[in-house]
Structures are given as C-alpha cells and as structure tokens.
Amino acid sequence: MTAALAATALMALLAGVGPALSPWPGVSALGLIAFLVGGAGTLARIVPLATAGGALALIGYALALGAEQPASHPLAGVAIGAGLVLLLVLTHLAARTGGAAFEPAAARLLLWSWAPVLAVGVLAASALVIAGALVAAALRGASLPAVVAIATLGAVVAAAGVTALVTAAGRPAP
C-alpha cells in the first residue's frame, strides 16, 4: 500500500508540472485528466493505467512548454524522466506485492538496488545535456534542415535501440 500511495503522490507531482508552467486551461484540464487516470492506475495497481497517466502528464508538459516557450531547463527534464521511471516501477511493485507479506529487508534491498540505476540515469542525462551543448556549439553555423535531420537521426537510433532491447528476449512474464 505504501508503494501505491507513493506512486499516487508522484503521479500528482508529474501531472502538476504542466499546469504549473502554463495557465492555459487546456493544459490544466490535461493535467487533471492525467492525475485522474494515473491516480486510478496507481491506487488500483494497474500499470497500463499509470502508463497512460504518465503519458498524459508528459503531453501536458510538452503543451505547456510549447505555449509558454520558457528558457531551457534540462534539469527539469531529468527530474521528470526519473519521476516517470519511479512512477512505473512503484506501480509495478505495488501490483505484484499486493496482498503479499513483504519483508522490510526486501524493501531496503530494493531501494538500494534502485539508487544506482537512478544515479546512472541522472548522470547519463547530464552527459547528454553537456554533449548537446557541445553539438549546439559545433552546429552554430549550420542550416536548420541539417539540425532537424541530425535530431531525427538521433531519435530514430534511440528508438531502434530501445526496440531491440525490448524485443530481444521471449514473451513477457505474467
């Protein structure tokens, strides 16, 4: 139950990021829907619902960024990415441990196991930000189509890598 409540709180934070950036009613409505859908998923321990809530929160955040066009804050992106990972992992944990006896030692061990993954994620994102800044400096004189092409290539490579990772093994466990 603790994991489900923590995931719900995290869902509320993620859903609130977009409305906090932009006062546009559409973003607020999307944030509310994201919280309702994702909160239902975290409380009912249904991972696909929590995923939908996270995706809606991400869309709301993107809309807010598009509407307000604030200065770039890569750290906010890192926090949102880590928050999304934690949201899904906590909801999945709550779903598989529902009704089971859970040793406190197991909870401690899990937290200790998650910490390095999150740390690596934050470091990788920071490295990407630095690399991006370097690439931006290198492409300062380049034309717009070249920048878009390089960005698309990067996205396609990332998507292909993830697809390869996910589909490499057999069918998912129940």
Partner 1 sequence: MTWRPTTLNLSLATLLGWALLLGVLGGRAELIVAAVPLVVALAAGRRPRPAAADWQVARHVSRDRLVEGERVTVTVTLRASGRREVVELYQPLPPHVRLAEGRHHAFVVAGEHREVRWSFELSCAGRQRLRLGDLHLRRWEPLGLAAAESVDHAISDVSVYPHVTPLRRPPSPARTQTYVGHHVSPAQGEGIEPGDIRPFVPGDQVRHVNWRATLRLGALHVTQHHRERNADVVLLLDTLADVGPPGDSAVDRAVRGAASLAAAYLARKDRVGLIEYGGILRQVRPAAGRAHWERLLDTLARASVVFTYVARDLERIPPRVLPPQALVIALSPLLDGRFLGAATDLAARGFDLLLVAVSPIAAARALAGGGAVTDLAARLWALERRAELDQLRARGLTIIDWDGVEPLEAALAVWQRPRQRRVRA
Number of residues that bind partner 1 (CB under 8 A): 66
- Closer to partner 1 by CB, 16 or 74: give it: 74
Find the shortest distance in angstroms from Cβ 135 to partner 1.
11
Say how far apart CA 158 and CA 90 lie, in whole Å: 25
| Residue 165 in the binding site for partner 1 (CB under 8 A) | yes
| Residue 16 in the binding site for partner 1 (CB under 8 A) | no
Q: Dig out the tokens for 4 from the structure.
A: 């489900």
Q: Dig out the tokens for 146 from the structure.
A: 């070249």
| Residue 158 in the binding site for partner 1 (CB under 8 A) | yes
Q: How far is CA 150 from CA 55, 101, 147, 164, in A?
A: 25, 50, 5, 21
| Residue 54 in the binding site for partner 1 (CB under 8 A) | yes
- Closer to partner 1 by CB, 12 or 129: give it: 129
Q: Dig out the tokens for 137 from the structure.
A: 């400096």
Sign of CA dihedral 132, 118, 52, 67: negative
Point out which span in 5-13, 22-30, 32-40, 118-126 binds partner 1 (CB under 8 A).
118-126
